Chains A and B, each alone.
Chain A
Amino acid sequence: MTPAWLVPTVRATSWQPMAGVAVALSGVSALAGGLGRWPDSLLGIVAATLAAAVVAGLRDPAAALLAAVPTSAAVRRARRVALLAPVALLVWLAYLSAGHELPAARGWPLGLLAALTATGIAVAAWAPTRVAVSAGVAVPLLWVAVGRASHGLDPSVEEVLLAWKNYPWIVTAAAVAALLIGRNR
């Protein structure tokens, strides 16, 4: 038996960003397959885009209306994440598996997606309500973009800018901890 919240939440969730990213990535995979070369440098960008698509799905135009209902914002957010995250994981695995046919593809870096998604959701939970989802979407995208452009900085600064790549599980743990601390927000 499906829980009562499932169908309304599926209908209310914004799937458009996830669908768009999935279609774009299938195009990239097809193109890379045609060329016989895997765009290894794109991995962080793809993970950030998927993470942003998950966070964008948290956008709830009826949030103000639902503020008075007994189901808290954190529970509603968790339900949306429970729907969106598995889809993002499936898209990520499909993208990586397409790459495994080609040289230069490396392993199954699940940590990249976990770190960026958890960070985005944590930011969305802690940011002021008016900009919560926008900030949650922007942070993983900006973090990866800045990490890619960083050069010649202090090594400790570069460590932070590339933490999503070098220490993904530590970042994930920190983001989940922040999310749990802010669960009542």
Chain B
Amino acid sequence: MTIATVALPRVTAEPRAAVRRLAWIEGLRVLRHPAPWIGLLLSVGWAINVFDQTWASARYEGLVASVAPLLLGVSLASVSAFGREHVPVADDAPMSAAGRSAARLLGGVALVGLVALVVGAVAFWLRLRGGLALGDEPGRTAHAYYSLPELLQPVLLGCFAVALGAAVVHVVRQRLAASIALFLFWFLVGGTYWMFNGSVARWMAVVQTQPVFVEAGPRTADPTSFPSSWLLSVPGEFQDFWARLIVSPAMAAWHDVYLVALTMLAVAVAVPGRTRRWLLVSGALLALCAVLMQRMVTP
């Protein structure tokens, strides 16, 4: 006698525990990748170089940009993790491609944590040493501190670096080509940040540096006639006027929103699944909104 039984239907949704477990494994794996640690050492080297420069906002701007090698390392570790998605997996694997990508993305949180730790350590060190020099005499302070939205920027850049690495290797489908592209990208936006921080470009820049230079008076003006609370920059090779230096936490906050939007767009490219369309639309709208808001609050 034959007994026929009906097989239970396959469960289409991944068990959350499996995603969490894979995310944990990926998180440990990306932390063992040498690129973020080499990037961290290079960032320290860049930061030390920044302290050799003496122009008005060299240290305040340069310290933010010196995070670029660390972010490159984060992106390269992400490329390594997401590059494994090109290894064919059986169609009936217990976890779908979207589930595996989501777990890898969650694993990238470990790298974001590393960036956050570094930023926290630098902020603490700045408190101990009494801040940074900003401005030229007679409008100068030796105790400039980053505002919270400015400190949040490198952490959100860490999120973006993870998503960008995933997106680039997903599109290019070749680890070496993706790594070269990311090297050029991060050294461009970090090493030559001034190119992307013009009057309009700064709203769409990836690495946004402050302060904003606002014309205070002509080259011939007497700087002692400006209010004593103003931070100033002397006329020079690239600036034909006395400038007032203004740090805008509101602009930095909206730039943080812009970075969240960029991360959403990069995740939409990297991770297949039902959320892709939602991420694309909401990311694009959020980016547009953040750019417009930065325009409104720019000094």
B146-185 at interface with A (beta carbon < 8 Å): 172, 174, 176-177, 179-181, 183-185
Map CB proximity to A onto B219-239 as digits: 1 under 8 Å, 0 otherwise.
Answer: 000000000000000000010
Report if A56-B180 is in contact (Cβ < 8 Å); known contacts: A32-B195, A149-B69: yes
Report if A146-B191 is in contact (Cβ < 8 Å); known contacts: A24-B181, A137-B179: no
A66 to B34, CA, bound (A): 32
One of B18-26, B43-51, B131-139, B248-256 at the interface: B43-51
Interface residue count on the B side (C-beta < 8 Å): 29
Inter-chain contact A21/B184, CB cutoff 8 Å: yes
Interface of A is mostly: helix
> What are the residues of chain A within 8 A of B42 when measuring CB–CB?
145-146, 148-149
B122 sits at the interface (CB 8 A): no
B282 sits at the interface (CB 8 A): no
A45 sits at the interface (CB 8 A): yes
For this complex, into which size category does the number of interface residues on chain A fall?
Answer: 20 to 34
A37 to B203, CA, bound (A): 20
Tell me the nearest residue of chain A to B41, going by C-beta.
Answer: A149
A149 to B45, CA, bound (A): 4
Map CB proximity to A onto B50-89 as digits: 1 under 8 Å, 0 otherwise.
Answer: 0010000000000000000100000000000000000000
A45 to B188, CA, bound (A): 8
A53 to B5, CA, bound (A): 59
B242 to chain A, nearest CB (A): 21
> What are the residues of chain B within 8 A of A56 when measuring CB–CB?
176-177, 180
Map CB proximity to B onto A126-157 as digits: 1 under 8 Å, 0 otherwise.
Answer: 00000001100100011001101111100000
Inter-chain contact A42/B52, CB cutoff 8 Å: no
A17 sits at the interface (CB 8 A): yes
Map CB proximity to A onto B21-39 as digits: 1 under 8 Å, 0 otherwise.
Answer: 0000000000000000010
The 6 closest A-B pairs by CB, nearest first: A149-B45, A39-B192, A17-B177, A149-B42, A56-B176, A45-B187
B residues within 8 Å of A by Cβ?
A: 38, 41-46, 48-49, 52, 69, 172, 174, 176-177, 179-181, 183-185, 187-188, 191-192, 194-195, 198, 238
A45-B183, A52-B183, A149-B44 known; 8 other A-B pairs, CB under 8 Å?
A: A16-B174, A17-B174, A39-B195, A41-B191, A42-B188, A45-B191, A149-B41, A149-B43
A residues within 8 Å of B by Cβ?
A: 14, 16-17, 20-21, 24, 28, 31-32, 35, 37, 39, 41-42, 45-46, 48-49, 52-53, 56, 59, 133-134, 137, 141-142, 145-146, 148-152
